[in-house]
Structure 1
């Protein structure tokens, strides 16, 4: 497993595992290391010992053999990596949208870390987690709270006025998209991952188109040069597309077999969500492009995560999330820092690596 390790030069850093958004690799995000490891004012912004791996089968990371469960094995490898680097305790964050029809791979991996390794992964920062609204049959109390809040259009019962406005806008957008889901992510979902693996192996153009479509789907506002696009594509597919598409295939199987992995106890979590832009639901010259973006697919209310996690901080961000690690990495850093702040207020174990170094010195 290939990883980037950025050690902070500041005192009292917190170990942070950052999982890049599938199918991008850590090699595309080297520029954000100092934002996390060496902030301009470490007294204000918590510094991190920063670890960012490349998922198996992407970049310089070897693909996993077909005999192993890829998502759970990847989570195990990441926990082992942090411990071998000397970080007995750490926090983890994903760095991109998890709002896809079945939830993204990096979401599945970080959820496995929280559920399976709570003794070392003390907290997680979740970007747009793919939680669903409570249903009357499965959770009548929470469903009733949501129904009342939406009916009154008020910030009550754990919902803010921003949540209610975004949920209502999201409902309208989803109704408009109902008959046009074969665009963007729907088009990829129409193919079996094995079919795509064979097709992409024989088509460098297909590999490039895959990323062009993905970037459009995520609603990126960054203007990539032709060289940047080719470089991103080449860095991602270095081992070939088979390993990456095995991750995708298993993600699809997990979505059918387990709606959500339940942690043995509620791990502390910080949650970042993006408020739906009402302007995106109006007719206009840019409406088609905005509707195609993944950010308009669904709004996830932070309140829905409280049944699975101990939510210690929530960030509601205006605007399209796009490609955060390129366009607004500070949002990821802010979520991780607020998680670390909440944890350190009640648990100093995240500083243990520095205490051990002090004793050995």
Structure 2
């Protein structure tokens, strides 16, 4: 990983057998995740020395992560969780780094053993990571018969400023810039014709990629799609009861949870001091979102395995990317590309879109509104699963991705 002179040493580094990434050459550097033991020892010491606040005066999760739950999860992190096993699992997949537009980009690149596999780019969001996709790699790259013709070559990058890509060192990394970086990454890998999939920030980046690299992106599949209430009340009135309930639920969720987004959009650096210094703080900040956004009954582990959850947190903690990952919110709020200029006519979206709606997600899109802005070629409604679709319902996720992209395959 590239580390600026005023940054702390990175606990992860590329393989020492190759040269570091070069912006000039576009080199792809093999990467092995190797966290020094001193980092794990320091984490253990910090967990043992945690200063706990008093318990909340409200019930359940109404004021944030409950004290008893977080103490129990922290105890498991300290004494039951095996980082080395998770590290070995990640290292079981081919990983690389490359420098694009001044930023280090870490990515997994898994080629299918099946002939004619379609390249597919998978993009996570916040507070996610490449860990979201570990359970779908096998089924997507090497599906059993009779789905053998639905195989993919996978490219799974860590967003600039997130996890194993390390902190960004310059401003301007908004959604469009990441999308352009993804187009360049796919070009470097030799993928001239490919599909793209994303959720959360990954959905916004993937949609933008479908614009900026429309000549090469055959289709876009998303498991997040925002359809805000229409400005014209008559349009809302014409919707069915279920669609109006979706809009109401989305609005209610935004009001309840907008605090985290406002903070990350305005003061990501200040937030980063707390989260980078306290592993329990970083854990609570992330686990709260898994508690609220997953299709779970009482705790995130109802929907996502505890080890997967903690490995995702570890990628933020070990790489010190709390503030740089939050900066995507800050950049988006100030980006000239976020809103079209006043009076401009929206350009038709150039790439076919597939949408998977998971019933437990807080913000479920309205198809009628989605079709006003996008050429929706595929729409599936599931009665379960939440915001982190590939983690929560890997089987449903895989099936829907296969079904959508099947129409874009060539040859037998």
TM-score (norm 2): 0.64
Q: Which 10-residue stretch deviates more, 6-15 or 186-195? A: 186-195
Taking the aligned partners of 1:174 and 1:79, their CA distance within structure 2 comes to 31
Aligned partner of 2:332 in structure 1 is: 251
1:207 pairs with 2:282: yes
**Alpha-carbon contact 1:266-1:308 (below 8 Å) kept:** no
Taking the aligned partners of 1:136 and 1:92, their CA distance within structure 2 comes to 32
Aligned partner of 2:73 in structure 1 is: none
1:85 pairs with 2:150: no
Given candidates 248, 267, 281, the residue that maps to 2:351 is: 267
- The 3 A distance-change label for structure 1 pair 328 and 230 is closer
Taking the aligned partners of 2:373 and 2:244, their CA distance within structure 1 comes to 24
Unpaired segments of 5 or more residues in structure 2?
1-104
**Alpha-carbon contact 1:115-1:263 (below 8 Å) kept:** no
**SS of corresponding position for 2:245:** helix
Aligned partner of 1:147 in structure 2 is: 237
Aligned partner of 1:72 in structure 2 is: 176
**SS of corresponding position for 2:150:** coil
| Matched ranges for 1:16-27 at <5 A | 16-27=120-131
Aligned partner of 1:324 in structure 2 is: 389
- The 3 A distance-change label for structure 1 pair 268 and 17 is same
Cα shift at 1:315: 0.6
**Alpha-carbon contact 1:116-1:263 (below 8 Å) kept:** no
Aligned partner of 1:197 in structure 2 is: 272
Taking the aligned partners of 1:273 and 1:259, their CA distance within structure 2 comes to 27
- The 3 A distance-change label for structure 1 pair 262 and 271 is farther
**Alpha-carbon contact 1:166-1:275 (below 8 Å) kept:** no
- The 3 A distance-change label for structure 1 pair 69 and 212 is closer
Cα shift at 1:30: 2.3
Higher relative contact order (CA 8 A, sep 6+): 1
Taking the aligned partners of 2:393 and 2:222, their CA distance within structure 1 comes to 15
Aligned partner of 1:128 in structure 2 is: 224
- The 3 A distance-change label for structure 1 pair 31 and 173 is closer
Taking the aligned partners of 1:333 and 1:33, their CA distance within structure 2 comes to 9
What are the superposed Cα offsets for residues 107-130 of structure 1, whole Å, 9 maximum, x if unpaired?
Answer: 221122011110111210021301
What are the superposed Cα offsets for residues 67-124 of structure 1, whole Å, 9 maximum, x if unpaired?
Answer: 3333222212211111221210101001x3x4xxxxxx22221122011110111210
**Alpha-carbon contact 1:127-1:272 (below 8 Å) kept:** yes
Cα shift at 1:35: 1.4
1:40 pairs with 2:144: yes
Q: Which 10-residue stretch deviates more, 260-269 or 76-85? A: 260-269
**SS of corresponding position for 2:355:** strand
- The 3 A distance-change label for structure 1 pair 267 and 44 is same
Unpaired segments of 5 or more residues in structure 1?
99-104, 138-142, 151-163, 277-294, 355-361
What are the superposed Cα offsets for residues 281-334 of structure 1, whole Å, 9 maximum, x if unpaired?
Answer: xxxxxxxxxxxxxx23x4311232223322111111112425322221233323
Taking the aligned partners of 1:38 and 1:10, their CA distance within structure 2 comes to 7
Aligned partner of 2:258 in structure 1 is: 186
Taking the aligned partners of 2:333 and 2:371, their CA distance within structure 1 comes to 25
Given candidates 189, 193, 210, the residue that maps to 1:114 is: 210
